[in-house]
Amino acid sequence: QKEVEQDPGPLSVPEGAIVSLNCTYSNSAFQYFMWYRQYSRKGPELLMYTYSSGNKEDGRFTAQVDKSSKYISLFIRDSQPSDSATYLCAMSENGGFKTIFGAGTRLFVKA
């Protein structure tokens, strides 16, 4: 079993839809949770960074962490064609240098 599970998709939605992306994990020691966006043939760029459980909002993006269920989510409101990319969840333990990534979900937003 992988430490971090993420549905690879692809996920296709119409412009303006609310997108929900999710990851589950097995290591209860994970404390830091991240979402990265990766465009084709580019490096990942950080979207959201949260510590422990709770919600964090930044513009059209909301990250949720439920440590009791070992489940994290990223919501994208009013999705745009420019949001079409691969979204990677990532997490790490306290004091660690090893960040573990999910496989990534490919998202297509149709105009």
Partner 1 sequence: DGGITQSPKYLFRKEGQNVTLSCEQNLNHDAMYWYRQDPGQGLRLIYYSQIVNDFQKGDIAEGYSVSREKKESFPLTVTSAQKNPTAFYLCASSPAGNSPLHFGNGTRLTVT
Q: For 16-34, b where at least 16 C-beta lie within 10 A, e where not — what string? A: eeebebbbbbeeeebbbbb
Query: Rule CB under 8 A: is residue 10 a binding residue for partner 1?
Result: no
Q: Under DSSP, is residue 81 helix (H, G, I), strand (E, B) or coil?
A: helix
Residues in the chain: 111
Residue type, 99: T
The residue (of 42 and 78) whose beta carbon lies closer to partner 1 is 42
Q: Does 76 bind partner 1 (CB under 8 A)?
A: no
Closer by beta carbon to partner 1, 85 or else 88 = 88
Distance CA 12, CA 104 (A): 14
In angstroms, the first-to-last Cα distance of the chain is 37
Interface residue with partner 1 among 7, 32, 56, 70 (CB under 8 A) is: 32
- Is 94 near partner 1 (CB under 8 A)? yes
Residue closer to partner 1 by CB (options 78, 99) is 99
Which of 12, 46, 66, 69 touches partner 1 by CB under 8 A?
Answer: 46
The residue ranges that bind partner 1 (CB under 8 A) are 4, 6, 8, 31-32, 34, 36, 41-46, 49, 88, 90, 92, 94-99, 101-104
